[in-house]
Structure 1
Amino acid sequence: MYELFVLGELMTGDKHGYMLQDILKNAAGPTRQISSGTLYPLLSRLVDGGLIHLRHEEESEGGRTRKVYGVTEAGRARFRELMEEPLPYDGETERLFGFKMVYFQYVGKDVRLSCLRQYASYLEKNRKYVVDFEAKLLAHKPEPEKQRVQLLRVFDRRKTVWAAEIEWVKREIERVEKEE
């Protein structure tokens, strides 16, 4: 996922490591931070793999050298591969979908539609799981009742959120399908 992020950000233009870390910090949200110990080894691997290039630029204040990264043609190809990969159905699906959406302008309509449809399928699968589990709870009425009732409220919340997101994705699919 972070490889996609780095390559996607570099598709917009060259950036130094601190800027990449800052953008990712804001994109991932307050509960998911990437450490320097994760980002800089990834950048080194991408440089070593020929997916990005590194140049040293002298900073105007303090005279320090800043490392600036840019994407190579091999990196552009790898970025497209990552964008075309199916979404996993795991705990990172929503975050990865969000990252992919940010970079939709760099891929074709077919890739965007595929990603949107995969995400819609993921949401529908989760909604169905909750609906089926809710039906079991209603049929068997396990104890304690207070806990069962609260669990049903949690399920109601999830169904409401997923229904709204499913509707949004359907509208987005329709919008992209109409593009030329």
Structure 2
Amino acid sequence: MYEIFVLGELTVGDRHGYILQEILKSALGPFRQISAGTLYPLLSRLVEDGFIELRPESGSSGSRPRKLYAITESGRIRFRQLMEAPLEFQADTEILFQFKTVYFRYVSKEARLACMEQYLTYAQYKLKHVTDREFQLHMQRPEPEKQRAQLLRVLDYRKQIGAAEIEWVKQEIERMKAAAD
């Protein structure tokens, strides 16, 4: 998941590792952070795999030269492969989808629409899970009643969020279809 972010950011332009970390922290939000212990091994692996290169920054002053990461041509190919890969239904699907949407301008309209359609299926699957659970609670009527009632309220909240998400994705799909490529 972070690989697509790093390659996407380097497609935009060369970056220092700490800048990548700050952008990623901002993208993930206040409650999910990435540590240097996660990011820098990923950067090292991407360098070893030839997807990015590390080079000293020209004109840097001080005792230690600053290093820049830059994407290579094989990194651009890998990035397009990741962008065009189908979304899998897993814990990080929503974050991966958000990362992909940020970099949509680097892939074809067909790839963008495929991603949106896949995410629509994912969002519909999540909503079905919630409505199935709600149905079970109505049928089984577990005790205590107050707890069941509150759980139904939580499920209603999740249904409202899910329905709004599905509506947004459908609108984006229609917008993309209508837009010139």
User: So what's the TM-score if we normalise by structure 1?
Assistant: 0.96
Q: Distance in 1 between matches of 2:124 and 2:96?
A: 17
Q: Percent identity?
A: 61
Kindly indicate whether residue 111 of structure 2 is the aligned counterpart of residue 80 of structure 1: no
The answer for the alignment partner of 1:41 in structure 2 is 41
Q: Distance in 1 between matches of 2:111 and 2:121?
A: 15
The answer for the alignment partner of 1:126 in structure 2 is 126
Does the 8 A contact of 1:58 with 1:64 survive in 2? no
SS of the aligned residue for 1:70 comes to strand
Amino acid at match of 1:13: G
Does the 8 A contact of 1:47 with 1:54 survive in 2? yes
Structure 1 residue 95: deviation in Å?
0.7
Aligned residues: 180
Amino acid at match of 1:112: R
SS of the aligned residue for 2:66 comes to strand
The answer for the alignment partner of 2:173 in structure 1 is 173
Q: Distance in 2 between matches of 1:140 and 1:33?
A: 40
Residues 125-144 of structure 1 aligned to structure 2 (within 5 Å)? 125-144=125-144
Does the 8 A contact of 1:59 with 1:66 survive in 2? no
User: So what's the TM-score if we normalise by structure 2?
Assistant: 0.95
SS of the aligned residue for 1:86 comes to coil
Q: Distance in 2 between matches of 1:141 and 1:175?
A: 43
Structure 1 portions without partners, runs of 5+: none
Does the 8 A contact of 2:60 with 2:66 survive in 1? no
How much is the aligned-residue C-alpha RMSD, in angstroms? 1.2
- 1:62-121 Cα shifts (integer Å, max 9, x gaps): 343111011111000000111111112111011111111100010010111011111111
Amino acid at match of 1:52: I
Amino acid at match of 1:148: R
Q: Distance in 1 between matches of 2:76 and 2:132?
A: 43
The answer for the alignment partner of 1:8 in structure 2 is 8
Does the 8 A contact of 1:87 with 1:119 survive in 2? yes
Amino acid at match of 1:8: G
Q: Distance in 1 between matches of 2:47 and 2:123?
A: 36
- 1:26-73 Cα shifts (integer Å, max 9, x gaps): 011111111111111111111111101111125645343111011111
